[in-house]
Amino acid sequence: MSIMNNKVAIVTGAGSGMGREEALLLAQEGAKVVATDINEAAVQAVVEEIKASGGTAIAYSHNVASEEDWIKVVAETIKQYGKLDVLVNNAGISWPTALLDTTVEQWNKVLNINLTSVFLGMKYSIPHMQNNKGGSIINISSIAGLTGGSGSGPYTASKGAVRMLTKAAAVDFGKDNIRVNSVHPGFIETPMSAEFVNNEQMLQWFLSQTALPRVGQASEVAQAVLFLSSDASSYITGVELPVDGGVTAK
């Protein structure tokens, strides 16, 4: 039996990169996946791929910074599948702008998409997990949420806040058998990082930071998400799991 059989999972930002791999893997392992993304065509393509492989999934257009959208997505999930077991708050943006050059509008955009979305996702998902006598929430942070990085103040602030919001929720909702953990990807090859990974100078800098001599793959982040989504991690909550090839070991 696959380890996610009969579980219902929402994955945000599932149209590409890590979110796509997370949605594909959870479905492969038996989950019914609600895949959401601001890019409706992209996430619909992922759902078609899941269905073609014999999996179960539905797609929704979703602005994760919108409270109205979250209410709709969670309500549709319950209407379609009757429950919610897993929430993967994956959607996010990178904004590599120096702190002094960052506008208030840019700051608010990064915080809304990277942090407020996590708050909203948990706010509207947790009551259904309480009804369900348990659940698992995985919030995708970053190694930037563990240590400071140059030239990305808003991003680092948002990802650090995701880490601590995760811990607060883990403490608050452990009594309901709801587990809340954060995953901290390092230098992962995705469409969002392509311009850096494909730049030889940047690539060499990435490799100088890692213990393992390569950049990571989105599928490797998905494996960590699968573990934390499943009952294999049933006594793990409030932790931060780096998937970073050893960057934060230094």
Give residue 203's Cα distance to chain centre.
24
**What token pair was written down for 20?**
């796509």
Partners of residue 87 on adjacent β-strands? 10, 137
**What token pair was written down for 131?**
């009804």
155 is catalytic: yes
Question: Is 126:80 a contact under the CB 8 Å cutoff?
Answer: no
Which regions of 120-214 does DSSP assign to beta strands (E)? 135-140, 178-185, 188-189
Catalytic residue, chosen from 60, 81, 124, 155, is 155
Residue 176: CB partners within 8 Å, gap ≥ 6? 126, 129, 130, 133, 134
**What token pair was written down for 143?**
């190694």
Question: Is 83:8 a contact under the CB 8 Å cutoff?
Answer: yes
Catalytic residue IDs: 155
